[in-house]
Chains A and B, each alone.
Chain A
């Protein structure tokens, strides 16, 4: 089955620690995204990538970093500079070739601070 796999499902971060969230897709999509979800705030875009080896900041990129070395992978690192990292993180992808395209989502990673 084609889809998006996020791991781990739950992650705990200690003070001053960087943590990396994994996102892999086998849909052959060009575009990939990271969203942060907080209760009552909907989804906010952290970073997106429209093609391998290229990515752009979204609305709330501070304290996060990404890489896109392979088409199928788009890992997100939550750095120690992100002072309020507790949230549900969603990875998504889309073909990247039409204006009305839907987003395909992974099942998310819940990040909490110890």
Chain B
């Protein structure tokens, strides 16, 4: 069965610092991987997705993620944090799309001035 683990329920960085949010997955076959962002009291929106075309995936708002099969990881990074990046981030894994999408528990990112 597929699953996804996000390391760290809360991450705090200073404005301008590197953002690193960790995600590890478990799947018997290469999955499709997603990062979603949720701002307070809103729904989720897609940041980026991995579909095997390239291991380094660039998303919106300067975020990117690298798929590492040997480490079963799909960590999300951004070189320089901005106050507007403060939100909750969810890693998700899917084998067959839609209803088979499994979400991690989420990581809340705090950005300090």
Contact = CB atoms under 8 A, between A and B. Distances in A.
A108 B41 contact: yes
Among A9, A90, A101, A110: residue with most chain B CB under 10 A: A101
A101 B36 CA distance: 13
A56 interface: yes
Q: How large is the interface on B (under 10, 10 to 19, 20 to 34, 35 or more residues)?
A: 20 to 34
A100 B99 contact: no
Interface stretch (B62-70, B75-83, B103-111): B103-111
A92 B106 CA distance: 18
Contacts of A33: 98-99
Nearest to B104: A42
Contacts of A83: none
B44 A103 contact: yes
A103 B101 contact: yes
Contacts of A108: 41-43
Q: How large is the interface on A (under 10, 10 to 19, 20 to 34, 35 or more residues)?
A: 20 to 34
Contacts of B49: 100, 102
Among B44, B46, B106: residue with most chain A CB under 10 A: B44
Contacts of B106: 40, 42
Nearest to B97: A99
A43 B103 contact: yes
Contacts of B14: none
A88 B99 CA distance: 19
B41 A106 contact: no
A74 to B, nearest CB: 13
Interface of B: 9, 32, 34, 36, 41-46, 49, 51, 90, 94-99, 101, 103-106
13 contacts: A6-B43, A31-B99, A42-B105, A43-B44, A48-B98, A48-B99, A90-B43, A92-B43, A98-B97, A99-B32, A100-B94, A101-B97, A108-B41
